Amino acid sequence: MITSGKDSPKGGVSLRRFGSIGQVVARETSTILATFLGLLIVTFLIGRVVPIDAVLAVVGENASAEVYNNAKVELGLDKPLLTQFGIYLVKILQGDFGVSNLTGNPVFSDIATVFPATLELATLGTLIGVLIGIPTGVAAAVYRGKWIDHLARVVGLFGYSVPVFWLGLMGLLLFYAKLGWVEGPGRQSVAYADLLSPVTGVILLDAAVQGEWEIFWDAFYHLILPATLLGFFSLAYISRMTRSFMLTELQQQYVTTARVKGLSEGRIIWRHALRNAVAPLVAVIALSYASLLEGSVLTETIFAWPGLGRYITNSLLNADMNAVLGGTVVIGAIFIGVNLLSDIAGRLFDPRTR
């Protein structure tokens, strides 16, 4: 008698596996949608409770009552709160964050313009944090209680404790004003402004692709100091968490077994212990990267960096709530997306989580 794949043990296992994957996908999707909906509800309510009149921000304080009322109707602020949220939700899903009162441009267009600067800064800062932080954390765990462990912990404590604005100002004073090793505030020198045809908005990438190496190095020398500053704070967090994860792994039974079998200490540390610590470490790196992508407000302000954090700050100071709320939604979406990707990466790196 011939059995169908559904009735056979092999077919049953495949169907169960397929069903398990489908349940995971459905659960993750529902979580993302619920989180994003909660984000939109919070931003909508913030826009309604802040002591800023959205109508006055559009028409100005000298507008007549008739102009004020017409603008209020046009903006939909005369409708019930639930109806207003429905309109807000539809617009957000269409990518319509409104028009910035400060720049006169659509908020989505403004964010698309400033976000590559933050992306460039956060990416290099995270790379510095990862490339230095992980080996430092591993060394601190392996040589626990030794001088290198104490040094790593002091550096981490310094990174957590020192105010960002003070470290940024001292960096400018020393490396720019005194030593002249780096360029000053801003993203480019005035002489190179608007000479590069923007493709991705990331100046280093666009300059390299177009072979404009003078522009590339000018942008790099502007970028390296604020990126190193962010990388230092990222390094402090990543090295501390790497040390914690590695201490846990080095106390496991499989490490003792590997040593008894005669495996080299380097292989045990880098191929076995660190490999098992990768999954939680990916989540730490992703969280650090998302935090930098949200716009490091103080760093971008000190270095006059035209990124997302500075854009939101200037908008808030000028009561431009469309820009503030639009930027907040983008930041929330970034956190949701990065957390999802880190979860997927964790499942790929660590079979135990599948």
Q: In the predicted model, what is the mean pLDDT of residues 91-105?
A: 83
Crossing angle for the helix pair 274-293 and 107-142, nearest 10 degrees? 150
Confidence of residue 1 (pLDDT cuts 50, 70, 90): very low
How much is the pLDDT for 139? 92
Whether residue 250 contacts residue 143, with contact meaning beta carbons closer than 8 Å, is answered with no
Instruction: Lowest mean pLDDT of 177-181, 320-324, 345-349, name the range.
Output: 345-349
Whether residue 306 contacts residue 251, with contact meaning beta carbons closer than 8 Å, is answered with no
How much is the pLDDT for 224? 93
State the Cα–Cα distance between residues 223 and 68, nearest whole angstrom.
45
Write out pLDDT tens, residues 304-335.
888 888 888 888 888 788 888 888 888 888 88
Q: Is 98 left (phi over 0), alpha (psi -120 to 50) or beta?
A: left
How much is the pLDDT for 238? 92
How much is the pLDDT for 15? 53
Write out pLDDT tens, residues 58-81.
666 666 777 777 777 777 777 777
**Verdict on whether the full-model pTM lies above 0.85:** no
How much is the pLDDT for 86? 85
Considering the domain architecture, whether residues 271 and 209 belong to the same structural domain is answered as: yes
Which of 47-61, 97-111, 336-350 has the highest mean predicted lDDT (pLDDT)? 97-111
Considering the domain architecture, whether residues 134 and 253 belong to the same structural domain is answered as: yes
Instruction: Lowest mean pLDDT of 54-58, 185-189, 243-247, 279-283, name the range.
Output: 54-58
Q: Cβ neighbours of residue 149 under 8 Å, at least 6 residues apart?
A: 139, 140, 141, 143, 243
CB 141: neighbour CB atoms within 10 A? 24
Write out pLDDT tens, residues 5-55.
444 454 554 555 555 556 666 777 788 888 888 888 888 887 777 666 667
Per the prediction, the chain carries an average pLDDT of 82
Q: Domain range for residue 40?
A: 27-93
What is the CATH classification number for the domain harbouring 332?
A: 1.10.3720.10
Q: Which is nearest to 138 in space by CA: 147, 148, 129?
A: 148
Considering the domain architecture, whether residues 195 and 276 belong to the same structural domain is answered as: yes
- Out of 44, 65, 93, a domain closes at 93
Give the largest CA-CA distance in the chain: 88
How much is the pLDDT for 344? 76
More confident site: 278 or 24? 278
Considering the domain architecture, whether residues 293 and 150 belong to the same structural domain is answered as: yes
Considering the domain architecture, whether residues 165 and 35 belong to the same structural domain is answered as: no
3-state helix, strand, coil in the chain (%, to 5): 75, 0, 25
Q: In the predicted model, what is the mean pLDDT of residues 92-115?
A: 86
In DSSP terms, 106 is beta-bridged to 99
Considering the domain architecture, whether residues 268 and 193 belong to the same structural domain is answered as: yes
How much is the pLDDT for 131? 93
Q: Over 80: is that where the pLDDT of 171 sits? A: yes
Q: Look at the chain and count its residues.
A: 354
| Segments of the chain assigned E as strands | none
How much is the pLDDT for 350? 65
Q: Over 90: is that where the pLDDT of 165 sits? A: no
The reply to whether 195 falls in a domain is yes
Confidence of residue 264 (pLDDT cuts 50, 70, 90): confident
**Helix (DSSP H) and strand (DSSP E) numbers for the chain:** 15, 0
How much is the pLDDT for 322? 83
Q: How many structural domains is the chain composed of?
A: 2
The reply to whether 225 falls in a domain is yes
How much is the pLDDT for 220? 92
Cα 348 vs. chain centroid, distance in angstroms? 21
Considering the domain architecture, whether residues 256 and 119 belong to the same structural domain is answered as: yes
The reply to whether 101 falls in a domain is no
The reply to whether 279 falls in a domain is yes
How much is the pLDDT for 217? 93
Confidence of residue 2 (pLDDT cuts 50, 70, 90): very low
Considering the domain architecture, whether residues 177 and 32 belong to the same structural domain is answered as: no
Confidence of residue 216 (pLDDT cuts 50, 70, 90): very high
State the Cα–Cα distance between residues 80 and 199, nearest whole angstrom.
43
More confident site: 103 or 56? 103
Q: Over 90: is that where the pLDDT of 135 sits? A: yes
Considering the domain architecture, whether residues 214 and 253 belong to the same structural domain is answered as: yes
The reply to whether 21 falls in a domain is no
- Out of 67, 93, 119, a domain closes at 93
Write out pLDDT tens, residues 297-310.
788 888 988 888 88
How much is the pLDDT for 201? 85
